[in-house]
Structures are given as C-alpha cells and as structure tokens.
Amino acid sequence: YISTKTNLTVEFEACRLIVFSVKTCYLTNKMSRLIKLFTSECQDSKWSCDTSSCDGVCKLYAGNILTFDGLQYQQTSDCQHTLLQDCSEEQKFRLLLTSRSRDHGSEISVVEVQYTGHHLVLSRDGEVEVDGESVSLPNSVNEIVLRRVGFFLFVTTPDLAVRWDGADSLQVHADSQFRERMCGLCGDFNGNPDDEFTDP
C-alpha cells in the first residue's frame, strides 16, 4: 500500500516542481513501515526524480478487498477467484481463493498458491498440502517456506509473502519488481486505482 500526499510547489533555477510525495512502504520481511521521499534534482531545466518503488500490499477482509493501488471494493460470491497472478510471459505465480458468502460478507475456505511449478493448498480446517501431499508445519519446498504462528498461516517466497488467519482475513505482499505485471482481484499494481479490473 502506498499513500501519497501532494502539497508542495518548489521553484529552483529554471525548474518548477509541483509534486512532493511521501510514500509509506510496508516491507515484506519486517511488516513495518518505511518512509521514502522522492528526491529531485534540477538538470537542464527539468526535474530528475528518484522514483524508487515500494513493495505492493493487497488486503482482503470479509469480502472487502484493498488492491495494490489502493482501490477498495467488495467481492462476495460462492466460487473460486484469482486474487492475484503474475500475468507476464514468465507467469511465476498465482494465488486462488475459494470463498463462501455469509451475512457479514464472505469467508475464505481454501487458499491455493501456485509458485514455480509447485501447488500449495491451505484449508480452513488447518490442513496444508504441497503438490498433493499433506504436510505438517513448519515446512519448506525449494524457495517456499510454510509456517504457522498462532492462528496465522504464512507462505513466504522470494517474491511473495501471504498471511492468512484461517478465516476471512488475508494479506499479500508482492515484490516491487512485479509492478505492472499483475492481474486479478488485487489489481494490476501499476499505481493507478482506476484501471484495476483486469482478466482473469
């Protein structure tokens, strides 16, 4: 999630900077906040800006989705959805949800993570399968690490971190290298909340 404030006009030599941005980044490895500033330098009458990217965060709670780009909407239905997917040619990962409608919104019954040829299935009853076989936690396969902390289930890879409470709350962190490569209910991760709804 990136929050950006625009409130400053700066003039320097022949340059005029209208936007001053403060970005709040939620880091995959520490789940903490980091404030980053755009730094600008006036060169040849133009501003040259450092636009270093933050990791993306998508959140789901009781059918309410907050996309990587900050759009919030409700999605409640009894079916399977693609929450997010690497829609580049590489197609490195995909995260699927099976949910059930409830009076308070919806609850997640199954989370599926497909990552570099491996298929993980996390069930609401606490069962975890990797490539069709039931496993106990903690566990790992190649670069995928699975663990349970309290009632939370974590799936961590070099590119993604998934946290599920086993009920109706799920959070996904995606590495900034996947900006503009995503599709699914979490949006396209391009910084624009107005064009989120992309197939599949």
Q: How does the average pLDDT of the chain come out, rounded?
A: 76
pTM (global) more than 0.85: no
Q: What are the pLDDT digits (tens) for 49-93?
A: 444 467 889 999 988 999 998 899 988 777 889 999 999 999 999
Q: What are the pLDDT digits (tens) for 120-151?
A: 999 999 999 999 999 999 999 999 999 999 98
Q: HSE-up of 98 (CA within 13 Å, CB side)?
A: 9
Give the span between the Cα atoms of 170 and 158, in whole angstroms: 19
Q: What is residue 45's predicted lDDT score, i.e. its pLDDT?
A: 52
Q: Is 194 helix (H, G, I), strand (E, B) or coil?
A: helix
Give the span between the Cα atoms of 46 and 179, in whole angstroms: 26
**Which residues contact residue 61 at a Cβ distance below 8 angstroms, ignoring those fewer than 6 apart?**
105, 168, 169, 170
Q: What is residue 105's predicted lDDT score, i.e. its pLDDT?
A: 66
Give the span between the Cα atoms of 128 and 110, in whole angstroms: 10
Q: What are the pLDDT digits (tens) for 109-127?
A: 999 999 999 999 999 999 9
Sign of CA dihedral 22, 26, 28, 29: positive
